[in-house]
């Protein structure tokens, strides 16, 4: 084998254009799924659990096919693919085990105006959900929202990323063969098919992708007032304190920045760039340690190590190398094999690498002399999906967590905030909105129906609301007026609620009022509401300080 050439198996991405859905058929496919939802077929919990069970075994039984497809689609190493698949299986199991509890009617402790009524929240399916995946996470980008959508009682349309055609073909085949055919469909295609799909009305849209794609999806959804969950990834800073285990931080950075060739949404990156903020005194040592760990991770030559990922396609390779510039492209890089070795570079803030998202195995180091400077730099750009503080000092860490705005955070580690099953996951601002996974994910795919139910006997009390009920309208209307635990004095509200939880209200007068009305109603069962109100008013005069 010629030196510098990869000896790994040749990647052969599938051509799945024969699976593309004709544009003129897309509306009918969505309509068919919506008709199924109208039958309420997906409403029983038993149906939802059965579909999740089947989804689990689609992945379990065909794991090797999905793993192989991810290698051929994007050069994803086997271990990285298995880790993604395992996280999906965990999420499905966690959802099945907890969904009945999450979906149970939730009692609401109301204020005393409604103390005699039943107040609760019922979770209801939204309808038909559109789920759009990304090429770099073709399993989790589908399974995380799918678990929530199915558990929520929705029908769904899956649009796999065209950048992972092998995985898309497997989704098309095995979802059709294993899940109930009537409540879902898979639409494959590129821009024309996706555009037509977004022209349809959906009840929820989940999209994993770039900020550019997120804006297109959000704009299309707005035409139908459709809510979205947008997981747009990226833009995540690493902040390193001077009081830190630098070798431990370097090892984790070395792993995270090169997992799947740096092409994951949780890689340390910021504002369309990938970077670390560190004190100038630590820069040289940090770079040396990161490079050392890279040398320990893989065999040489690196191009032949199957555990090291590849750039997904030629366009991505050309974009990354253009940001690097000819002088910084490593000699061992290979466009033919889509191979780029890992790089850690000290850069200035106006470096071309800082102008857009790298999405590759390159990490930039920026020097900051203080935590205030580092936090200011983080907050000067778009809000990240995750923030990663490294320090032995808990107060320093808390300062970073308090003063930066991000969707998630991992302390003294990287890329773990999306790992735990059931742990809600999502961005903020430019990195997206809405939540996936767990209870929060389920709530993204359901609506909260608030229910107030009054017993018939409560007519004695609720009758006072009618205009002709009683001559004491003003008094009755003011019964629910709260008495605040704070005064007009500035700062008097600061301590309210610190030692207790609950609703602040004028409980005692309202309790007496309710008691008086009940007593008056009992004494005058045959009396009208006016007579009951008159007796209640007489009783109130006998109660001091009411």
CATH number at residue 86: 3.40.605.10
Q: Is it the case that residue 320 has pLDDT exceeding 80?
A: yes
Helix (H, G, I), strand (E, B) or coil at 43: coil
Would you place residue 266 in the very low, low, confident or very high pLDDT band (cuts 50, 70, 90)?
very low
Please spell the DSSP secondary structure of 67-92, one letter per residue: HHHHHHHH---HHHHHHHHHHHHHHH
- Top mean pLDDT of 58-62, 308-312, 375-379 is at 58-62
Query: Does residue 10 fall inside a structural domain?
Result: no
Query: Does residue 248 fall inside a structural domain?
Result: yes
Q: Is it the case that residue 68 has pLDDT exceeding 50?
A: yes
Would you place residue 499 in the very low, low, confident or very high pLDDT band (cuts 50, 70, 90)?
low
Q: Is it the case that residue 400 has pLDDT exceeding 90?
A: yes
Over range 499-525, report the average pLDDT: 54
Three-state SS annotation for 131-174? EECCCCCCCHHHHHHHHHHHHCCCEEEEECCCCCHHHHHHHHHH
Q: Contact, 34 vs 128, CB < 8 A?
A: yes
Angle value at C-alpha 166, between 162 and 172, nearest 5 degrees? 80
Helix (H, G, I), strand (E, B) or coil at 519: helix
Query: Does residue 266 fall inside a structural domain?
Result: yes
> Do 325 and 465 fall within a single domain?
no
CB neighbour list of residue 295: distance below 8 Å, 6 or more residues apart: none
Q: Tokens 């009783």 sit at which residue?
A: 539
> Do 300 and 159 fall within a single domain?
no
- Token code pair at residue 114: 């409604």
Of 162, 196, 231, 430, the catalytic one is: 231
> Do 183 and 60 fall within a single domain?
yes
515 or 256, greater pLDDT:
256
> Do 31 and 77 fall within a single domain?
yes
Q: What is the largest CA-CA distance in the chain?
A: 103
Please spell the DSSP secondary structure of 226-242, one letter per residue: --EEEE------EEE-S
State the chain's mean pLDDT as an integer: 84
Helix (H, G, I), strand (E, B) or coil at 410: coil
Query: Does residue 432 fall inside a structural domain?
Result: no
Q: Is it the case that residue 391 has pLDDT exceeding 90?
A: yes
Q: Contact, 81 vs 67, CB < 8 A?
A: yes
Query: Does residue 428 fall inside a structural domain?
Result: no
**Alpha-carbon separation of residue 438 from 10, 136, 444 (angstroms):** 38, 22, 10
The number of beta carbons lying within 10 Å of the beta carbon of residue 471 is: 12
**Alpha-carbon separation of residue 65 from 171, 188, 390, 401 (angstroms):** 11, 19, 38, 41
> Do 379 and 464 fall within a single domain?
no
> Do 401 and 312 fall within a single domain?
yes
Q: Is it the case that residue 522 has pLDDT exceeding 90?
A: no
Q: Is it the case that residue 224 has pLDDT exceeding 90?
A: yes
Model-level pTM? 0.82
Over range 35-63, report the average pLDDT: 97
Nearest to 200 by CA among 211, 190, 187: 187
412 or 112, greater pLDDT:
412
pLDDT tens for each residue of 140-156: 999 999 999 999 999 99
Would you place residue 358 in the very low, low, confident or very high pLDDT band (cuts 50, 70, 90)?
confident
Of 207, 228, 265, 368, the catalytic one is: 265
Would you place residue 442 in the very low, low, confident or very high pLDDT band (cuts 50, 70, 90)?
very high
Q: What is the pLDDT of residue 542?
A: 47
Over range 357-366, report the average pLDDT: 85
Nearest to 204 by CA among 443, 504, 458: 443
Over range 363-386, report the average pLDDT: 89
Q: What is the pLDDT of residue 429?
A: 80
Helix (H, G, I), strand (E, B) or coil at 249: helix
Q: In this prediction, what percent of the chain has a pLDDT beyond 90? A: 48
Q: What is the pLDDT of residue 256?
A: 84
> Do 79 and 126 fall within a single domain?
yes
Is residue 107 annotated as part of the catalytic site, yes or no?
Answer: no
Please tell me the distance from the alpha carbon of residue 307 to that of residue 497, in angstroms, as a whole number. Answer: 54
Q: What is the pLDDT of residue 501?
A: 47
Q: Tokens 């630590």 sit at which residue?
A: 282
> Do 51 and 189 fall within a single domain?
yes
> Do 55 and 195 fall within a single domain?
yes
- Tell me how long the chain is: 546
What DSSP element (H or E) covers 446? Answer: strand 446-453
> Do 256 and 173 fall within a single domain?
no
**Helix, strand and coil in the chain, % to nearest 5:** 45, 15, 40
- Token code pair at residue 291: 């490079």
Would you place residue 11 in the very low, low, confident or very high pLDDT band (cuts 50, 70, 90)?
confident
> Do 217 and 282 fall within a single domain?
no
The number of beta carbons lying within 10 Å of the beta carbon of residue 78 is: 14
Over range 43-55, report the average pLDDT: 97
Q: What is the pLDDT of residue 2?
A: 41
- Token code pair at residue 512: 């007496």
Helix (H, G, I), strand (E, B) or coil at 447: strand
Query: Does residue 313 fall inside a structural domain?
Result: yes
Positive or negative: CA dihedral 293, 295, 299, 301: positive
334 or 504, greater pLDDT:
334
Cβ burial, residue 303 (10 Å; 0-12/13-18/19+): buried
The residue range of the domain holding 345 is 237-417
> Do 395 and 337 fall within a single domain?
yes
Please spell the DSSP secondary structure of 192-217, one letter per residue: HHHHHHHHS--SEEEEES-HHHHHHH
Over range 111-139, report the average pLDDT: 86
Q: What is the pLDDT of residue 269?
A: 39
Domains in the chain: how many in total? 3
20 or 267, greater pLDDT:
20
Would you place residue 503 in the very low, low, confident or very high pLDDT band (cuts 50, 70, 90)?
very low
CATH number at residue 384: 3.40.309.10
Is residue 265 annotated as part of the catalytic site, yes or no?
Answer: yes
For the beta sheet containing 155-159, the strands, ordered from the edge strand earlier in sequence to the opposite edge, are 184-186, 155-159, 128-132, 204-208, 228-231, 432-433
């Amino acid at each position: 084998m010629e030196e510098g050439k990869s000896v790994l198996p040749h990647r052969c991405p599938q051509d799945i254009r024969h699976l593309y859905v004709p544009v003129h058929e897309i509306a009918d496919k969505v309509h068919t799924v919506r008709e199924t939802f109208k039958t309420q077929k997906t409403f029983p919990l038993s149906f939802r659990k059965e579909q999740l069970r089947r989804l689990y075994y689609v992945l379990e039984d065909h794991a090797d096919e999905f793993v192989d497809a991810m290698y051929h689609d994007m050069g994803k190493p086997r271990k990285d693919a298995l880790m993604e698949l395992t996280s999906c299986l965990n999420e499905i199991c966690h959802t099945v085990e907890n969904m009945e509890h999450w979906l149970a009617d939730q009692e609401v402790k109301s204020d005393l105006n409604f103390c005699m009524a039943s107040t609760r929240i019922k979770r209801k399916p939204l309808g038909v959900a559109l789920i759009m995946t990304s090429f770099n996470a073709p399993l989790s980008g589908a399974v995380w929202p799918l678990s929530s959508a199915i558990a929520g009682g929705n029908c769904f349309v899956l649009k796999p990323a065209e950048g992972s055609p092998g995985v898309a073909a497997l989704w098309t085949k095995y979802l059709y063969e294993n899940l109930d055919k009537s409540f879902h469909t898979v639409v494959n295609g590129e821009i024309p098919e996706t555009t037509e799909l977004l022209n349809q009305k959906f009840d929820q849209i989940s999209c994993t992708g770039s900020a550019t794609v997120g804006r297109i999806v959000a704009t299309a959804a707005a035409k139908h007032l459709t809510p979205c969950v947008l997981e747009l990834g990226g833009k995540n800073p690493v902040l390193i304190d001077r009081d830190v285990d630098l070798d431990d931080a370097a090892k984790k950075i070395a792993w995270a920045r090169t997992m799947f060739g740096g092409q994951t949404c949780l890689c340390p990156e910021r504002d369309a760039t990938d970077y670390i903020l560190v004190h100038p005194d630590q820069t040289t040592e940090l770079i040396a340690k990161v490079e050392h760990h890279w040398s320990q991770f893989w065999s040489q030559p690196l191009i032949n190590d199957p555990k090291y990922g590849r750039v997904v396609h030629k366009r991505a390779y050309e974009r990354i190398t253009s940001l690097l510039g000819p002088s910084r492209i490593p000699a061992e890089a290979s466009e033919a094999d889509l191979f780029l070795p890992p790089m850690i570079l000290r850069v200035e803030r106006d470096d071309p690498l800082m102008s857009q998202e790298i999405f590759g195995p390159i990490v930039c180091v920026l020097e900051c002399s203080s935590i205030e400077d580092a936090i200011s730099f983080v907050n000067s750009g778009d809000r990240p999906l995750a923030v990663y503080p490294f320090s032995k000092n808990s107060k320093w860490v808390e300062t970073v967590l308090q003063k930066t705005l991000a969707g998630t955070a991992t302390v003294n580690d990287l890329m773990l905030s999306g790992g735990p099953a059931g742990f809600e996951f999502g961005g903020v601002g430019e990195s997206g909105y809405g939540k996936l996974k767990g209870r929060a994910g389920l709530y993204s795919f359901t609506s909260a129906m608030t229910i107030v139910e009054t017993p018939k006997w409560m007519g004695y009390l609720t009758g006072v609301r009618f205009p002709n009920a009683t001559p004491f309208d003003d008094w009755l209307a003011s019964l629910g007026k709260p008495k605040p635990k704070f005064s007009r004095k500035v700062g008097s509200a600061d301590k309210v609620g610190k030692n207790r939880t609950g609703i602040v209200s004028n409980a005692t007068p309202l309790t007496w009022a309710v008691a008086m009305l009940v007593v008056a109603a009992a004494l005058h069962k045959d009396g009208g509401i006016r007579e009951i109100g008159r007796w209640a008013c007489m009783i109130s005069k006998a109660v001091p300080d009411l």
